[in-house]
Amino acid sequence: QEQLVQSGPEVRKPGASVKISCKTSGFDFTNFYMNWVRQAPGQGLEWLGIINPNDGATTYSQKLQGRFSITSDTSTSTVFMELVSLRPEDTAIYYCARDRELLDYWGQGTLVTVSS
Amino acid sequence: DIVMTQSPLSLPVTPGEPASISCKSSQSLLHSNGFDYLNWYLQKPGQSPQLLIYFGSHRATGVPDKFSGSGSGTDFTLKISRVEAEDVGLYYCMQGLQTPITFGQGTRLDIK
């Protein structure tokens, strides 16, 4: 069955960077776009960006433009996100989610805490 | 960006009673293929969001038929025919028509 398993929680200081992984299984990785979505404490869902694992093409939210990037590794069916120049307001649970329009399967979430 | 507006934001419901959540988009979500690119998700406490309804009215795999979605264009509704304790959580609508994908603010359903 379809599974998305994310890497563990991270703690960073302001100005640092973080890279999170999302390993997929149970479906053909190259057939589905992959999204990243985050949820700040007590807040709603915010879409961050999307990648086509077939060709590596990406689209990002303007809000994080320049600080956020998504990559993928088809050999391990894994998608990655990296956020640089971290700020306290980047503290959130980060989720990967499958499919361009449906976001039908989600990872378990990765808590990133940014604090001095 | 397409703005998604949900109401109500808080919804206390008596077990066994129906519930309804509205979602309005700032522009039509109708794709040229005839589908409305509107999804509904439930985020149970401490869990990831789970897809309930896609393309406005199609139930996702394994979703019980007490959940139904309706609407088209800019006005959509999620209905739960009989609320149970397991239905508590945050309900979100989401548009997938164009990037950036955007979500409603969320509606918190709890049991009276």
Beta-strand pair B10-13/B107-111: parallel
Q: What is the largest CA-CA distance in chain A?
A: 41
- Across the interface, which of A44, A61, A107 has its CB nearest the CB of B48? A107
B23-73 residue pLDDT tens = 999 999 999 999 999 999 999 999 999 999 999 999 999 999 999 999 999
- The radius of gyration of chain B from alpha carbons, rounded to an integer in Å, stands at 13
Tell me the average pLDDT across A19-42.
97
Q: Could you tell me what percent of chain A has a pLDDT over 70? A: 100
Q: Do B49 and A95 touch (CB under 8 A)?
A: yes
**B18 to chain A, closest Cα gap in Å:** 24
Tell me the average pLDDT across B79-92.
97
Q: Do A102 and B106 touch (CB under 8 A)?
A: no
Average pLDDT value over all residues in chain B: 97
Q: Do A46 and B103 touch (CB under 8 A)?
A: yes
Band of residue B86 on the pLDDT scale cut at 50, 70, 90: very high
Asked if pLDDT for residue A65 goes beyond 80, the answer is no
Give the Å distances, CA to CA, from A41 to A33, A86, A112.
Answer: 27, 16, 11
Q: Do B39 and A102 touch (CB under 8 A)?
A: yes
